[in-house]
């Protein structure tokens, strides 16, 4: 019998009238049955969060910090249990940059965010009067998360909301709802009832997610997911003038200059593109390599990629796992086929068993090939040759996305000059995708609105109130 999970509302486990199956992408086995929330269940969760807000928002700053620290400690105690659940429902291996690493990141973000604060700022204090800037919590925050890093992204949404005195209703992806339900249960061991609630639904998340975006008693939506869904959220949030943080898709470019040592950068290039099997918002999804080092970089990258074992996530030896779901697998296959029709396959290219798709590297592509132009969000990296750096920058910028980018060179000053010309929210030199809790992270152009992390990320969960006296 599969485990039956329930919603978490007002500090209680609440069973839903119906459930849906959550399957392990490595084996196809059922991991558990998730609750199918109705719109009445959502209303119930929002009402519980609203009720909790009246006292939670009046906690002192020190009390909010202490509560967030207690949540961080609980997360640490349950890290291995949550990592195993993430591996079972998401597919990523326990090891490498897999679920244990994800839980480590979640703990680091939780701890760092607990220690942040937004004290009152005195803008003026003179004989003409005093002007104070206060940061006030918004109310109920609705969090909508994707399936690629279910626990870490939930922590990115929940912790800054709690730290600033808001309450939360979270709705995880229907592909990975169980670890979020368990995370919220664990949080409820140390939080007052109703401060964090969890509802789940199966229909691609469309009905519950859409209902959250339109809900009159939700004051902010923090959304991480695809651009298409983010646009829908923004449209329906307009009617209630919700605050929004939208962290959406990317098609990050990496630019390799002619002065690199190919063997030295191969590992960084590989993990830049293939972290979490490429199912990472800020993974490197297009690689532009200067003609002088093109063949050597391709060879070094392929040699490194061949050394990475892929297999069932629960096997301790696996470093890469399956693609998370059939829809994503079919998308990766379509884009790889498009790449194969015009490019040269250096590695992989043929689907494996079940949802396994081997690491695939395809060279000699142009900017308009679909594998280059679209976000693949999977284990396939296209390589494009360039001989003029200005052309490479122009091609990198010829995208409606602008999440991350990278420049690879021994000349750090030159790399920084190029970095500043790239249209994206984060740029890395000689690495790709390395985010950290003290650095604001967000996208430009269609990759999103607002930032997460650090003080700037915390501010997004507040309204400004200015007091003149």
Whole-angstrom distance, CA of residue 86 vs CA of residue 178: 8
The yes or no reply on residue 252 touching ligand NAD (CB under 6 A) is: no
Q: Confirm or reject binding of residue 22 to ligand NAD (CB under 6 A).
A: no
Q: Which range touches ligand NAD (CB under 6 A), out of 2-10, 86-94, 127-135, 146-154?
A: 146-154
Which among 66-74, 243-251, 337-345, 389-397 is the span making contact with ligand NAD, rule CB under 6 A? Answer: 243-251
- Nearer to ligand NAD by Cβ, of 312 and 375: the residue is 375
- 213, 245, 395, 430: which one binds ligand NAD (CB under 6 A): 213
Give the integer Cα–Cα distance in Å for 424 and 427. Answer: 7
Set 36, 89, 102, 247: catalytic member: 247
Instruction: Reply yes or no on whether 247 is catalytic.
Output: yes
Q: What are the backbone angles phi and psi of residue 44, rounded to the nearest 5°?
A: -60, -45
Active site residue 281: yes
Per-residue contact string for residues 307-346; x = within reach of ligand NAD by CB under 6 A: ----------------------------------------
206 is a site residue for ligand NAD (CB under 6 A): yes
Indicate whether 281 belongs to the interface with ligand NAD (CB under 6 A).
yes
- State yes or no: residue 375 binds ligand NAD (CB under 6 A): yes
Is residue 402 close enough to count as binding ligand NAD by CB under 6 A? no
Q: State which of residues 95, 148, 179, 426 lies at the interface with ligand NAD (CB under 6 A).
A: 148
Which of 68, 198, 281, 298 is the catalytic position?
281
Under rule CB under 6 A, residue 210 binds ligand NAD: yes
- Residue from 146, 194, 343, 379 touching ligand NAD (CB under 6 A): that is 146
Site for ligand NAD (CB under 6 A): which residue of 165, 194, 209, 437? 209
By the rule CB under 6 A, 275 interacts with ligand NAD: no
Could you tell me which of 389, 384, 378, 379 has the C-alpha nearest to residue 347? Answer: 379
Exactly one of 232, 331, 385, 414 binds ligand NAD (CB under 6 A); which one? 232
State whether the Cα torsion 342-347-350-351 is positive or negative. negative
Residue 374 burial by Cβ neighbours in a 10 Å radius (0-12, 13-18, 19+): middle
Give the count of residues interacting with ligand NAD (CB under 6 A): 31
- SS3 letters across the chain: CCCECCEEECCEEECCCEEEEEECCCCCCEEEEEEECCHHHHHHHHHHHHHHHHHHCCCCHHHHHHHHHHHHHHHHHCHHHHHHHHHHHHCCCCCCCCHHHHHHHHHHHHHHHHHCCCCCEEEEEECCEEEEEEEEECCEEEEECCCCCHHHHHHHHHHHHHHCCCEEEEECCCCCCHHHHHHHHHHHCCCCCCCEEECCCCCCCHHHHHHHHHCCCCCEEEEECCHHHHHHHHHHHHHHCCEEEEECCCCEEEEECCCCCHHHHHHHHHHHHHHHHHCCCCCEEEEEEEHHHHHHHHHHHHHHHCCCCECCCCCCCCCECCCCCHHHHHHHHHHHHHHHHHCEEEECCCCCCCCCCCCEEEECCCCCCHHHHCCCCCCEEEEEEECCHHHHHHHHHCCCCCCEEEEECCCHHHHHHHHHHCCCCEEEECCCCCCCCCCCECCCHHHEECCECHHHHHHCCEEEEEEEC
- Which positions from 446 to 465 touch ligand NAD by CB under 6 A, shown as an x/- string? --x-----------------
Residue 157: CB minimum distance to ligand NAD, A: 10
Residue 444, number of CB atoms within 10 A of its CB: 15
Nearest distance from C-beta of residue 109 to ligand NAD, angstroms: 13
Distance CA 451, CA 458 (A): 9
Residues from 158 through 177 that contact ligand NAD (CB under 6 A)? 171-174
Q: How far is the CB of 276 from ligand NAD (least distance, A)?
A: 9
Which is closer to ligand NAD, CB of 209 or CB of 348?
209
- Give least dist CB 250 to ligand NAD, A: 5
User: How near is the Cβ of 128 to ligand NAD at its closest, in Å?
Assistant: 44
Rounded to 5 degrees, φ, ψ at 424 are -160, 160
Residue 91 near ligand NAD by CB under 6 A:
no
State in angstroms the smallest separation of the CB of 324 from ligand NAD.
Answer: 9
39 binds ligand NAD (CB under 6 A): no
Here's the x/- map for ligand NAD, 41-80, by CB under 6 A: it reads as ----------------------------------------
Q: How far is the CB of 60 from ligand NAD (least distance, A)?
A: 31
Q: Is 147 in the site for ligand NAD (CB under 6 A)?
A: yes
> In the bound complex, what is the minimum distance in angstroms from residue 380's beta carbon to ligand NAD?
14
Q: Determine contact, residues 245/459, Cβ cutoff 8 Å.
A: no
Chain residues binding ligand NAD by CB under 6 A are 144-148, 171-174, 204-206, 209-210, 213, 224-226, 229, 232-233, 247-250, 281, 375, 377, 403, 443, 448
What residues are labeled active site?
A: 247, 281
């Amino acid at each position: 019998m599969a485990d039956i999970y329930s919603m978490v509302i007002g500090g209680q486990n609440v069973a839903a009238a119906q459930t849906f199956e959550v399957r392990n992408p490595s084996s196809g086995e059922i991991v558990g049955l998730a609750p199918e929330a109705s719109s009445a269940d959502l209303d119930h969760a929002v009402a519980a969060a609203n009720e909790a807000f009246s006292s939670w928002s009046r906690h002192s700053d020190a009390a909010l910090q202490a509560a967030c620290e207690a949540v961080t400690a609980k997360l640490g105690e349950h890290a291995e249990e949550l990592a195993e659940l993430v591996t079972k429902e998401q597919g990523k291996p326990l090891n490498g940059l897999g679920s244990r690493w994800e839980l480590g990141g979640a703990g680091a973000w939780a701890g760092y965010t607990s220690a942040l604060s937004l004290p009152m700022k005195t803008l003026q204090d003179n004989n003409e009067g005093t002007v104070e800037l206060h940061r006030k919590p918004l109310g109920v925050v609705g969090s909508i998360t994707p399936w690629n890093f279910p626990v870490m992204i939930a922590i990115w949404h929940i912790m800054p909301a709690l730290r600033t005195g808001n309450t939360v209703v979270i709705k995880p992806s229907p592909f990975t709802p169980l670890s979020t339900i368990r995370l919220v249960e664990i949080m409820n061991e140390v939080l007052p009832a109703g401060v964090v609630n969890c509802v789940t639904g199966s229909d691609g998340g469309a009905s519950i997610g859409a209902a959250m975006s339109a809900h009159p008693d939700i004051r902010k939506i923090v959304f991480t997911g695809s651009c298409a869904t983010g646009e829908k959220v923004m449209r329906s949030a307009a009617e209630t003038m919700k605050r929004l943080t939208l962290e959406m898709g990317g098609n990050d470019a990496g630019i390799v200059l002619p002065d690199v040592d190919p063997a030295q950068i191969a590992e960084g290039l590989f993990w830049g593109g293939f972290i979490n099997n490429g199912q990472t918002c800020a993974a490197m999804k297009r690689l532009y390599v200067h003609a002088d080092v093109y063949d050597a970089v391709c060879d070094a990258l392929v040699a490194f990629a061949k050394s990475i074992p892929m297999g069932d996530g629960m096997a301790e030896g696996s470093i890469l796992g399956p693609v998370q779901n059939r829809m994503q697998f079919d998308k990766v296959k379509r884009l790889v086929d498009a790449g194969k029709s015009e490019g040269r396959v250096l590695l992989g290219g043929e689907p494996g068993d079940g949802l396994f798709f081997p690491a695939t590297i395809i060279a000699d592509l142009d900017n308009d090939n679909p594998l280059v132009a679209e976000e693949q969000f999977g284990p396939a990296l296209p390589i494009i040759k360039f001989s003029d750096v200005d052309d490479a920058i122009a091609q990198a910028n010829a995208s409606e996305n602008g999440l991350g980018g990278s420049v690879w060179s021994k000349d750090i000053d030159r790399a920084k000059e190029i970095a500043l010309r790239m249209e994206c929210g984060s740029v890395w030199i000689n690495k790709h995708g390395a985010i950290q809790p003290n650095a604001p992270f967000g996208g430009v152009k269609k990759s999103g609105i607002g930032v997460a992390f650090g003080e700037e990320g915390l501010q997004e969960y507040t309204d400004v109130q200015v007091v003149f006296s």
